[in-house]
Amino acid sequence: MTESTPGGLENLLSEDRRFPPSPEFTAQANAHADVYSWADADRPAFWAEQARDLLDWDTPFEEVLDWSGAPVARWFADGQLNAAYNAVDRHVEAGNGDRVALHFEGEGGDTRTITYADLKREVSKAANALTGLGVETGDRVAIYLPLVPEAVFTMLACARIGAPHSVVFGGFSAEALYSRIVDAEAKLVVTADGGYRRGAPSALKPAVDEALTKGEHPVEHVLVVKRTGQDVEWTDERDVWWSDVVDSASDEHTPVPLDAEHPLFILYTSGTTGKPKGIFHTTGGYLTQAAYTHRNVFDLKPETDVYWCTADIGWITGHTYVVYGPLINGATQVIYEGTPDTPHRGRWWEIVEKYKVSILYTAPTAIRTCMKWGEEIPSKFDLSSLRVLGSVGEPINPEAWMWYRRVIGGDKAPIVDTWWQTETGAIMISPLPGVTETKPGSAQVPLPGIAATVVDDDAKPVPDGAGGYLVLTEPWPSMLRGIWGDPERYADTYWSRFKGLYFAGDGAKKDDDGDIWLLGRVDDVMNVSGHRLSTTEIESALVSHPWVAEAAVVGANDETTGQAVVAFVILRGDAAGGSESADEVQTTLRNHVAKEIGPIAKPRQILVVAELPKTRSGKIMRRLLRDVAENRQVGDATTLADSSVMDLIAQGLSQPGAKQED
């Protein structure tokens, strides 16, 4: 029998660990349990109140939500405001100019401290310089920078004049940069000579130079920040140094009042097929939900907290939870240019200790990497300042969750597992610290004012204990307003699968308490002998074995069973001891999965590898592993952070012991 929805529910991991909030945390928490009922009773009214409370408006809005043009929503559309004014100027006007906005930590240990008053001057200068370079309200600006303060200044300068920014992650190739510049028709590119990566300067400007030779483009100027001092090629009529035009610009600038529905930014994200999609967000609704979620999900106290989100500004997490959310809320935050293991594997924990970071927001892949390195590394540092821990980007397996809680959070800091997407703009499903009793591995409940559920193939909500597809059933303020230049693709991708529902592309289940568990992208859900299995679930089972540091599971085509489970695992240096043979590892881990989930989930094959193929944002590229598992030529690996990984895996496969079990 073939089930029609993902999530082989008879095989779910059972999770009965519970962590209620401590009374001390609850007593001081920003969020209260009663908010759900009133928010859900009248969602637009709830969001209107947040918009009025959390933001300053040049023209107050009367209209709250206009959904008559569905699936394109308009929120607070007759109001006007400016994002940069809200993120910067008003904090200075309120007497908080001396508060640190950014503690910048360079990879090599160079630092800069930027107060809100400094930020106002820097952003104003940059806004004047952009205007001087011919950028007008409505023009698009591409930003291709490392995580240095100028990246934040530039984004806010764009927002200040109403020029939507399109940040392109500094690790993307010239080709990727070119296609994004052209799609957004960017007039200006802001870049740097280079940045520091694993202890050495790494050039950026050459990729811009190369991108601009690839064909027609609308770029008039390239504004170049000097970060590393390395030699750069120069095109006189086009290139300008930041120090020449920004440093000398006036530090007085009046922010432009903009309609709430004025586009704030475009951010490209990969779809399952085809060219990257330019997801665009507008101003009023996006900022409202960014600020609300940042304040409540992280329990932010702007006067006392030191917040650190480890994401790069090239991703949505960096937009919403490095730039807009924290700065709108007047937070003090850390930004760090480098990698977690440069110059040593304790670098992140050293930063937490140094700045007394109290709120940390990172990704499961980073947590699992730290697990792999061993807990003696973080335990050398004083992490006692941490009081809230966040996770984002992929399902966090219960063992990583427990490790994060115990080793990093000292068994006391609540963990918020936050589900959202580039498209949703801000967090949608997450516990609220101080309110929610947490469960390792589950993102649990839609936030107040958010309506999400799990449906089957016929768009019917599944009962508790069952699985299906995650959908959002009501419009939310920070929802994408579309795909840049392609309204049809927007409607097709998100709104055609289930009429009137936003299809997130994630498999999910509801447990017996009605809490939501994310099971990975629907395309990562396997069907083995008519039973649907989640890659995430099997990965979780594997990682719960003491030998396993990290696991990736794919469904490989199989003549008999439809798909078969193939697992790639990285063993823990300290646990496996190296004495077990490959056969022993296979047998033990297969039996372990059978024990944790059921014999149906037993991987057909378990391959021990040294690394897993990951994109630069840390997502495992299962597509490539599927190619390996199906004995195909490995497909396009150009978006891998480290392109040699696939060669290593292929070599490993030719070693004895990496054989297929019957």
Q: Which of 275, 632 has the CB closer to ligand WTA? A: 275
360 near ligand WTA, rule: CB under 6 A? no
543 near ligand WTA, rule: CB under 6 A? no
**For ligand WTA, which stretch binds (CB under 6 A), given 339-347, 381-389, 391-399, 487-495?**
391-399
64 near ligand WTA, rule: CB under 6 A? no
**For ligand WTA, which stretch binds (CB under 6 A), given 53-61, 397-405, 415-423, 626-634?**
415-423
The string of DSSP letters for 471-487 reads EE-S--TT---EETT-H
**For ligand WTA, which stretch binds (CB under 6 A), given 44-52, 328-336, 502-510, 604-612?**
502-510
Rounded Cα–Cα distance for residues 481 and 224 (Å):
31
Instruction: Return the bridge partners of 418, or none.
Output: 392
> Is 498:471 a contact under the CB 8 Å cutoff?
yes
Q: Which of 163, 371 has the CB closer to ligand WTA? A: 371
Kindly state the tokens that stand for 280. 């665009």
Helix axes 43-54, 284-297, angle to 10 degrees: 90
Q: Which of 154, 478 has the CB closer to ligand WTA? A: 478
Secondary structure letter of residue 358 according to DSSP: -
Instruction: Count CB neighbours of 182 within 10 A.
Output: 17
419 near ligand WTA, rule: CB under 6 A? yes
Footprint of ligand WTA on residues 175-204 (CB under 6 A)? none
Contacts with ligand WTA by CB under 6 A: the residue count is 19
Report CA torsion sign: 345, 349, 355, 360: positive
Q: Which of 255, 364 has the CB closer to ligand WTA? A: 364
Choosing from 365, 421, 438, 534, the residue that interacts with ligand WTA (CB under 6 A) is 421
Q: Which of 61, 419 has the CB closer to ligand WTA? A: 419
Pairing of β 306-309 and β 359-362: parallel
- Minimum distance from CB of 429 to ligand WTA (Å)? 7
Rounded Cα–Cα distance for residues 36 and 449 (Å):
7
Tell me which residue has tokens 């592309």: 505
Q: Which of 50, 293 has the CB closer to ligand WTA? A: 293
Choosing from 521, 532, 604, 626, the residue that interacts with ligand WTA (CB under 6 A) is 521
> Is 222:41 a contact under the CB 8 Å cutoff?
no
539 near ligand WTA, rule: CB under 6 A? no
Q: Which of 92, 625 has the CB closer to ligand WTA? A: 625
505 near ligand WTA, rule: CB under 6 A? yes
- Minimum distance from CB of 430 to ligand WTA (Å)? 8
Q: Which of 422, 540 has the CB closer to ligand WTA? A: 422
228 near ligand WTA, rule: CB under 6 A? no
Query: Is 131 exposed, middle or buried (CB count within 10 Å of its CB: 0-12, 13-18, 19+)?
Result: middle
515 near ligand WTA, rule: CB under 6 A? no
534 near ligand WTA, rule: CB under 6 A? no
Secondary structure letter of residue 456 according to DSSP: -
> Is 239:224 a contact under the CB 8 Å cutoff?
yes
Footprint of ligand WTA on residues 245-304 (CB under 6 A)? 269
SS3 of residue 2 by DSSP: coil
- Minimum distance from CB of 595 to ligand WTA (Å)? 25
> Is 492:498 a contact under the CB 8 Å cutoff?
no
Q: Which of 369, 421 has the CB closer to ligand WTA? A: 421
Q: Which amino acid, 275?
A: K
- Minimum distance from CB of 494 to ligand WTA (Å)? 11
Secondary structure letter of residue 252 according to DSSP: -
- Minimum distance from CB of 580 to ligand WTA (Å)? 32
- Minimum distance from CB of 509 to ligand WTA (Å)? 12
506 near ligand WTA, rule: CB under 6 A? yes
Kindly state the tokens that stand for 243. 């120090």
317 near ligand WTA, rule: CB under 6 A? yes
420 near ligand WTA, rule: CB under 6 A? yes
- Minimum distance from CB of 520 to ligand WTA (Å)? 6
Q: Which of 516, 606 has the CB closer to ligand WTA? A: 516
Choosing from 118, 417, 537, 596, the residue that interacts with ligand WTA (CB under 6 A) is 417
Instruction: Return the bridge partners of 267, or none.
Output: 279
Choosing from 395, 475, 555, 603, the residue that interacts with ligand WTA (CB under 6 A) is 395
**For ligand WTA, which stretch binds (CB under 6 A), given 181-189, 388-396, 544-552, 577-585?**
388-396
- Minimum distance from CB of 311 to ligand WTA (Å)? 9
454 near ligand WTA, rule: CB under 6 A? no
171 near ligand WTA, rule: CB under 6 A? no
Helices (H) and strands (E) in the chain, counts: 22, 30
**For ligand WTA, which stretch binds (CB under 6 A), given 20-28, 473-481, 498-506, 596-604?**
498-506
H-helix or E-strand spanning residue 190: strand 186-192
Q: Which of 309, 649 has the CB closer to ligand WTA? A: 309
Rounded Cα–Cα distance for residues 420 and 623 (Å):
22
Helix axes 582-596, 535-543, angle to 10 degrees: 120
| 50 Cα distance to chain centroid | 23
Buried b (16+ CB within 10 A) or exposed e, 445-456: bbbbbbbbbbbb
Q: Which amino acid, 533?
A: L
Q: Which of 365, 561 has the CB closer to ligand WTA? A: 365
614 near ligand WTA, rule: CB under 6 A? no
Closest CA to 536 of 500, 572, 507: 507
Closest CA to 271 of 70, 552, 525, 494: 494
- Minimum distance from CB of 519 to ligand WTA (Å)? 8
Closest CA to 166 of 147, 181, 150, 152: 181
**For ligand WTA, which stretch binds (CB under 6 A), given 97-105, 245-253, 503-511, 622-630?**
503-511
Spell out the alpha helix ranges (H) of 268-379: 284-297, 316-318, 325-328, 347-355, 364-373
Q: Which residues contact ligand WTA by CB under 6 A?
A: 269, 316-317, 392-395, 417-422, 443, 504-506, 518, 521
